[in-house]
Every structure is written in C-alpha cells, then in structure tokens.
Amino acid sequence: MGRYTYESFLQETAQQDRGEGMFELESDRMLEVNLDGRVWTKMGSMIAYRGAIKFTRERILEHGMGKMFKRALSGEGTRLTKAEGTGALYLADAGKKVSIIELNGETLFVNGNDLLAFEESITWDIKMMKKISAMMAGGLFNVRLEGRGLIAITTHYDPMTLRVKPAEPVMTDPNATVAWSGSLTPEFKTDMSLKTFFGRGSGESFQMSFVGDGFVVVQPYEEKTLQAGKGA
C-alpha cells in the first residue's frame, strides 16, 4: 500500500520496539541497535538515532599497525565508526537486506563491504587473499570475526547458504560471495572464456573455490565495484 491518510501513515510506518535485545530488525533493511555501551558500525551507515550517543571514527592506530596497513589498502568498505552511549541507533546500507547472526565461539569471514555492525565482544581482523588472481578479481579483503556476540551483515536481496562438504566443493562468483565459515580457506581459480578475450572484465572469469567442511553465503547480485579492473 502506497497511499495513506495522515494518521494511517503515522500508524503504518511508526518505529516499533520488539524487545529482541541489543540488535533487532526494525525492518528487513534497517537495523535497530538498542545501545547501552559500545558497538562498531560500518562508516556512513547511521541513518538516525535518539538518546545520548557519541560517534567516533576509528583512530588510525586504534587496532595496531597491522590493521592500519590492511585497512588503508582495503578502502572504505572496512572503515568503522564507534558508537558509544545509551539510546536507539538505526543503521542501513543502500537499502540492502540485513541479517543478524549470533556467534557463540564460532568464526565467520565476511566481505568487508557487507559488514554492517558488530558487538564490542567480537574480535576481528582484516584478512588478505594472497593469490594475485584474487587481487584481479577485486575480492582481496574480508573481515574475520570471532567470539561471542551479535553481528549484522547485509546482502542485496535474500542470501543463500550453500553447504560445503569434503567430497562436494562449492565454487562461487567473488562478486556475489558475502561470507563463509571460519573452517574454510577459499582459493581462487581462473575460468577462461570468450568474455575474457572480448575484453570484458567479468567476475565470472575468476571463481572462489571452497573445499572442506563448512558453508558459504552468496547473494543474487554481483557487486559491480568488485569486478576485475574496478576493485581494491
């Protein structure tokens, strides 16, 4: 429904408290953070807040020289803002769908551009793919998250999780790959095709290969900024 009376619009679109804890979905494309302390968020993702909340851009040496170097190379996709205080914070990222995941000691790798927020209790690090083909595909950087707490990731449309088994590897397009379990270490392989010879830098010329026991999350959308010749 796109047409309302004055009162019905207020009723239909009003913010709602669902009592689901620190992270809750205000809608499938908007995250509400019920803040009483500190949380890390993707830079530029705040759309509104109420209460006494202070925002601080991640300091250049806040997480050590190693992260500073990798973050500088990886671009804005992994830059963080620290939100501290008490109140309600609302986050979104270009209308992408938000999913909340609770970690209970597990490890998850997330594409740096698809990480929206995570609790302070989560430890993290920026990881670099080592093979030069990964750099050409633009899927060079991801964030390793581990510990106990909530994280929020974003996808274009609904995510799909594929199970990876020792005898059943999974290949994905780097531009559509969102996250994978900490038990997996993806490799990059090339798939030469006529598209390559015609000069089209297609992400499909490079594939991520997941072998082992775990899972990988993909989205029905190719991030154009991650395609060959346009990436980090």
Structural domain total, the chain: 1
Residue 117: what pLDDT? Answer: 97
Domain membership flag for residue 183: yes
Judged on CB neighbours under 10 Å (0-12, 13-18, 19+), 71 is: buried
Token pair for 102 = 């609770």
Residue 93: what pLDDT? Answer: 97
Domain membership flag for residue 167: yes
Residue 169: what pLDDT? Answer: 96
Give the domain range for residue 113. Answer: 20-226
Residue 196: what pLDDT? Answer: 53
**Which pTM was predicted?**
0.83
Residue 175: what pLDDT? Answer: 87
- Asked if 223 and 176 touch (Cβ cutoff 8 Å), the reply is yes
Domain membership flag for residue 13: no
DSSP 8-state secondary structure symbol assigned to residue 168: B
Domain membership flag for residue 14: no
What CATH code is carried by the domain that includes residue 182?
Answer: 3.60.160.10
Sole residue written with tokens 């979104």: 92
Give the length of the chain.
Answer: 232
Domain membership flag for residue 231: no
What SS3 state is found at 90?
Answer: strand
In the chain, % helix, strand, coil (3-state, to 5) comes to 20, 50, 30
Mean pLDDT by 10 residues, the chain (232 residues): 84 83 95 96 96 83 46 52 96 97 97 94 83 47 93 97 96 93 88 54 70 97 57 32
Domain membership flag for residue 206: yes
Cα(33)–Cα(16) distance, rounded to whole angstroms? 13
Domain membership flag for residue 122: yes
How many alpha carbons lie under 13 Å from residue 94 in its C-beta half-sphere?
Answer: 13
What SS3 state is found at 193?
Answer: coil
